[in-house]
Structure 1
Amino acid sequence: MPHATEYTGRYVVLLDQRETERGLDALRSSAGIASVERVRGTEPAGAAELLQRPDVSVLFDELGAAVVEVQPDQRHTLVTTAETEPTIIAAEPERLVYASVITEPQRTLTGFFPTYRSDEDEVDRHTRAELASSLGPAWDEQSTTWGQQAIRANLSHLTGRGVKVAVLDTGVDTGHPDLAGCLELTASFVPGESVEDGHGHGTHCIGTVAGPAKPEHAPRYGVAGEARILAGKVLGTRGTGSDGQILAGMAWAVANGARVISMSLGAQVMPGELFPQTYENVARRALQRGTVIIAAAGNESDRPGFVAPVGRPANCPSVLAVAAVDKDLSTAFFSCGAINGPGGEINLAAPGVGVFSAAPGGKYQSLRGTSMACPHAAGVLALIAQAAPEATGEGLRSRLLSGAYPLPQPAADVGAGLLQAP
């Protein structure tokens, strides 16, 4: 859903990792930033609380990025210092970030009913004829959801065994019978909230990545049932977080060996707006360490009349942007497109309408959004990483994109094509 651009009043600063102290000293002397606390990704406890303290700036060692508190009358000085000090690569206002899901009411399921289609709840502006077209083929979902069939995950011999996938989202239902066994680590970066999912978005995304091959009470809905999940809560119960919370989760994921970071979240951008330098450089640094970052492209379009640009951080060149397709493999009406460049491209498309997965309370639900497409790609990356454990981050990206199935839509809408499991 569209959100007006919202800022926290803090700044996100990217530093040269070889000279972080020099950069921080420059900010202290010129802009009077608050005292700096270092947070290591392997020790996440306390990060959420530090990010809320007005008297503290927080440096994430693994990323070389800091969230700094600065007085309003010193903000111009901070930006000027960043422009002149060579050890400071970027300084950008911290923004709020949102879960990338279409939020019209959904029917929550306690079991699976093969005839159920959440597509029938589409917003009123879409006619019945358009709905009939978007429902697409009559997928037989008795044993496997349409999304798993479309990306051919149900035909793969790979399971993602042992591959660590970080899902940075609204947390997870740690007691869900389908998911409890796949959780390697959990951490909350939201002040005052445990990792338990009070929203439902994170549990759904984790289910798509690593739901079991043979759930007891549902069809197969997970791509990589033997992947190991790092569930990082970076969005609160209302589905909202900050850049600082996202960066804290990214640092934690990288430090704990995640091969994939899946982020079904973002913030709206305007036509012509450039990608954020901090996220781009952090993603590039992660890629060099063997970690691939993927993100939801965003849901602000209203096709066919209006196509919104890919949101941030998916609009970064080093972040894979995932668009959504519906059951007839057409571009979902809400899916953002590549109208900004460079960096605002769509890399590939995945199922994002009527996606069935886990819900809190041991239940299931169907949701739609590029949020639902993104974890399909995360799961496939886990399969690729299992098959090619020595592959670099760039190697994993290349294998993912080269394996996509070409679609007739423009690359601006679906990138390399439809995600396919190896």
Structure 2
Amino acid sequence: MDRYIILKKPFGSLKSLKRGVGNGELGSASLVIERLPRHAVADLGRDPDVLAISKPMMTKLVRPIQATTAHSITGDAWGIASVNAHLSPYTGAGVKVAVLDTGIDPAHAAFAGINLQQQDFTGEGNGDFDGHGTHCAGTIFGQDVEGQRIGIARGVDHALIGKVIGQNSGNSEMLFQGLQWALSERANIISMSLGFDFPGEVEQNIKAGWPADLATSQALEAFCGNLRLFDALMGMFKTQSIFNAAPLVIAAAGNESRRSIDSTYRIAASLPAAAEGVLSVAAATRPAPLYGIADFSNSLPHLTAPGVDVLSAWPGGEMKSIAGTSMACPHVAGVAALWWERLREMRTPHLAQAVASHLAAHARKGCFSPDFDASDFGHGLVTAPASV
């Protein structure tokens, strides 16, 4: 029997399904992980109480394009000024941010004084074997390190750190459990710099001895099933907006495009960034004097943020500068925390939707080179709220 992820409708019942490992309430809906025979899966697929059902599929980091030590970089991370965070009176105070990634180095000076609520979904234990999660968290809410500012929302004092990618990669079961946990812990903003690994799924099937056409077909079935699951999950999140409990979900668009002279092609934002209700983020280059879009950045994003030479925290107390839409995504999460604080003060209803609307409405388009258009940068460069 294979493992399946099942999402039930609110207050629905799965009479034929026993509760098993990984079960949990997701608002008024239920996310269930079960081992099932194939005939039971077909029966559940016809159950009107089941929103979606699928096998887990492989996930992977949206890997940085380059990684260099940053000892020569002085001053604040350049993205701080680019998104106008240095001019904003808001700090993200009282906003709870969830980072679903490779974990975090809690001992880093950038996280001093912050309540880091860690949860491991990989079975490897807390901590950050890779550095990716530490770097993303540093951009969102990191404190100044030796006089250098790296964090957009330095007033965040409670963060949820879900480890959903381990040394042996990860899968969508870990990711969905992380999303369920973030919602149950009342996260306001969820940041994800990872993607569903369709090529890896095909390769794994081929290594198992499957013919190429069958391996591709099965990977496509898993991809489509997980897309339906993610869309249904985002729908469940949206139903929480009436209680102001819906989180805003933000994801990296992906690094698969190649815009160089030798090899020019663009790939659309990938999952989970492409799912309904998720804000996808492209990567901008440094202004010279206008901003460009990074060669690797996927197209059709909602928003754009600094994603090249981004300075942030690294495990072991280090600082490092790396590039990718993974680095752009936490800029948007940090700015979203600033908007959340402002709109909460104004008693704005449906905060997640309101923050998303303000991020889009206040993004800047005129700062990009004419070589790029809305298919490259979406609504534009994300911008922090100014004084009321």
Q: TM-score range with shorter-chain normalisation?
A: 0.7 to 0.9
The aligned residue for residue 125 of structure 2 is: 194
Relative distance call for 1:155 and 1:14 in structure 2 (3 A) is same
How far is the alpha carbon of 1:262 from its aligned partner? 0.5
The size of the alignment, in residue pairs, is 340
What are the Cα deviations for residues 297-344 of structure 1, in whole angstroms up to 9, with x where unaligned?
111111251112211111112011111111132111111123xxxxxx
The one-letter code sitting in structure 1 at the alignment partner of 2:4 is Y
Q: Residues of 2 paired with 1:69 and 1:411: CA distance?
A: 44
Question: In the alignment, which of 315, 318, 337 is matched to residue 299 of structure 2?
Answer: 337
Pick the aligned partner of 1:360 from 283, 297, 315.
Answer: 315
Q: Which amino acid aligns with 2:272?
A: P
> d(CA) in 2 for partners of 1:327 and 1:179?
26
The answer on 1:204 being equivalent to 2:159 is no
- 8 Å contact from structure 2 (residues 266, 299) kept in 1: yes
Alignment of 1:123-138 (within 5 A): none
* Counterpart-to-counterpart distance in 2, 1:107 and 1:417: 28
Of 62, 66, 90, the residue aligned with 1:158 is 90
| Separation in structure 1 between the aligned mates of residue 379 and residue 65 of structure 2, nearest angstrom | 28
2-side partners of 1:373 and 1:245: how far apart? 23
Q: Cα distance, 1:180 vs. partner? A: 3.1
Within a 5 Å distance, the mapping from 1:41-52 to structure 2 comes to: none
Deviation larger for 346-355 or 323-332: 323-332
1:416 and 2:352 matched:
no
Matches within 5 A, 1:11-410: 11-19=4-12, 22-23=13-14, 25-26=15-16, 28=17, 35-37=18-20, 56=21, 58-62=22-26, 64-71=30-37, 74=38, 77-102=39-64, 104=66, 106-109=67-70, 112-114=71-73, 142-191=74-123, 193-212=124-143, 215-217=144-146, 219-227=148-156, 228-237=158-167, 240-268=169-197, 276-287=227-238, 288=241, 289-304=245-260, 305-328=264-287, 329-338=291-300, 346-389=301-344, 390-391=347-348, 392=350, 393-406=352-365, 407=368, 408=370, 409-410=372-373
Letter in 2 for 1:18: F
The offset of 1:268, in angstroms, is 4.7
Amino acid at match of 1:277: R
TM (norm. structure 1) is: 0.76
The one-character-per-residue Cα deviations of 1:69-109 (angstroms, maximum 9, x if unpaired) are 224xx1xx3453244221111122311111112255x2334
Q: CA deviation at 1:379?
A: 0.4
Q: For each residue in 1:26-69, what CA deviation from the matched residue of structure 2 results, as whole angstroms up to 9, or x when unmatched?
A: 4x4xxxxxx423xxxxxxxxxxxxxxxxxx5x323115222222
Return the offset for 1:13: 1.8
Work out the CA distance in 1 between the residues paired with 2:331 and 2:235: 22
Q: In the superposition, relative to structure 1, how do residues 380 and 79 fare at CA in structure 2: closer, same or farther (>3 Å)?
A: same
2:19 match: secondary structure: strand
Query: How big is the shift at 1:353?
Result: 0.9
- Deviation at 1:186? 1.4
Give the Å deviation of 1:294.
Answer: 0.7
Question: Do the aligned residues in 2 keep the contact of 1:261 with 1:378 (CA within 8 Å)?
Answer: yes
Contact 2:307 2:323 in 1 (8 A): yes
The amino acid that maps onto 2:227 is: P
Worse-matched range after superposition: 352-361 or 289-298: 289-298
* TM-score, normalised with respect to structure 2: 0.82
Structure 1 residue 157, shift from structure 2 partner: 1.1
Query: Which residue of 2 is the match for residue 134 of structure 1?
Result: none
Question: What is the one-letter code of the residue matched to 1:332?
Answer: A
Which residue identity does 1:254 align to in structure 2? L
- Confirm or deny: 8 A CA contact 2:102 2:163 kept in the other structure: yes
Aligned in 2, Cα 1:375/1:323: closer, same or farther, shift over 3 Å? same
Measure, in 2, the Cα distance between the counterparts of 1:315 and 1:216. Answer: 34
The answer to whether the Cα contact below 8 Å between 1:268 and 1:311 also exists between their aligned partners in 2 is: no
Residue type of the alignment partner of 1:236: G
Identity across matched positions, percent: 34
Unaligned regions of 5+ residues in structure 2, if any? 200-219
Residue type matched to 1:150 in 2?
Answer: S
Is the CA contact (8 Å cut-off) linking 2:7 and 2:50 kept in structure 1? Answer: yes
Runs of 5+ consecutive residues of structure 1 not aligned to the other structure? 1-7, 29-34, 38-55, 115-141, 339-345
Distance 2:65 2:107 in 1: 24
**Contact conserved, 1:197 with 1:237, CA < 8 A, in 2?**
no
Report the CA distance shift for 1:216/1:316 in structure 2 as closer, same or farther (over 3 A): closer
What does residue 206 of structure 2 align with?
Answer: none
1:218 CA drift (Å):
5.0
